[in-house]
Chain A
Amino acid sequence: MTAERVRELFDAARSDAGFFQAALHVEQVAALAYAAAAEGPLSGRERAQALRFAGHERRHAAAFETMLFALTVPVRERADGDDLDALLPGLRRAGRREALRQLAELEGAAIEGHQLMGRRLAALDSLRTVAAVMAGGAQHLVVLRDALGRTPLTHAYETGH
């Protein structure tokens, strides 16, 4: 469900600014999601890691805000709890494993969206920032797969699926 909703956000973009707005929203929700997971389902080392990753997601969001600024597009809205519930329903009440699964699904969906940007963005230079964010998300995915006991931890061609 999460992946489908993220896919719809990126698919709806019709311009570079539209893609960056979609990417910004997903990173803002990801920051909220890691923070919520740290407050609820996760504990100990995993809680600490989730808080660190929430910080990473906030930095990713700031990078996309910078891209929108370069396109002279103002950012007026920020994702909130309702957006979190819409994209990851039930995360706050989830158990540890379900929370980790939802976070992994969100990271994978973001990677898929970033690669769609790789195909469709007109301003190719901006892809380097998109890819740096994507690579950071891919590293989060390794940690989440490890926590979930999934193998392999890495894929030869990471599509986010």
Chain B
Amino acid sequence: MSLSRRRFLGVAAGVLLAGCGRDAAREQPPADAEVLAGLLRRELDTGAAVAGVGGAASIARQDRLHAERLAELSGSGTVAPRSGAGADLAEALELKQQGVFAYVAALPRLADPDRRVLAMQIAASEAEHLAALRLAAGDEPVPDAFAGFTEAPAR
């Protein structure tokens, strides 16, 4: 069984547990700011990789917007863009895919409904970035029905 398949089944198992009223992970939840700070670190890494990919300026700008908003909400202060020198498309796609996974995984850990919706908006944006980058490269833009959760080809 592939890692991505196990990941999706893990999501389903978590749902069943929630349906039974059991969720040990929420007994000591991290603060929203802590969750968002983790997402910010990932966003900065991904943004740096995308910034090094030719023709992805619009996506890099959107990544900066994500980082600025996450920094504001997590209390992380101003964020300096990282250099993307040396990054290639395959690396950018892989980091983007991991970013989608991270935003989705973070959702149950965010207590504030507004922050959950923001994380969903950014998750959707990151998924769109993957499709747009693949489209520009001439690859199948949507290889998986669940944005990589059941099949996770970087390209």
Residues of A within 8 A of B (CB): 52-53, 55-57, 59-60, 63, 66-67, 70-72, 111, 114-115, 118-120, 123-129, 131-143, 146, 152-160
Contacts and interface: CB of A to CB of B under 8 A. Distances in A.
Determine the interface band of chain B, counting residues with CB < 8 A from chain A: 35 or more
B118 to A, nearest CB: 7
Contact of A143 (B11, B14, B141, B150): B141
A128 B147 CA distance: 12
Interface of B: 8, 11-12, 14-19, 23, 26, 58-59, 61-62, 65-66, 100, 103-105, 107-108, 113-114, 116-132, 135, 141-142, 144-150
Contact of A132 (B8, B108, B116, B135): B8
A159 B103 CA distance: 15
Contacts of B132: 142, 153-154
B144 A136 contact: yes
Nearest to B62: A156
B100 A135 contact: yes
A56 B142 contact: yes
Given A119-B117, A153-B131, 17 more contacts: A57-B145, A111-B124, A114-B120, A119-B113, A131-B104, A131-B107, A135-B123, A135-B149, A136-B144, A138-B147, A141-B128, A142-B135, A143-B131, A154-B131, A156-B65, A156-B66, A160-B124
A59 B69 CA distance: 33
B1 to A, nearest CB: 17
A133 B107 contact: no
Contacts of A138: 124-125, 127-128, 131, 147
Given A115-B120, A153-B128, A155-B62, A133 B23 contact: no
Nearest to B104: A131
A66, A125, A134 pick with most chain B CB within 10 angstroms? A125
Contact of A70 (B15, B107, B114): B15
Contacts of A123: 15, 18-19
Contact of A129 (B11, B59, B142): B11
Nearest to B136: A153
Contacts of B124: 111, 134-135, 137-138, 158, 160
A55 B150 CA distance: 14
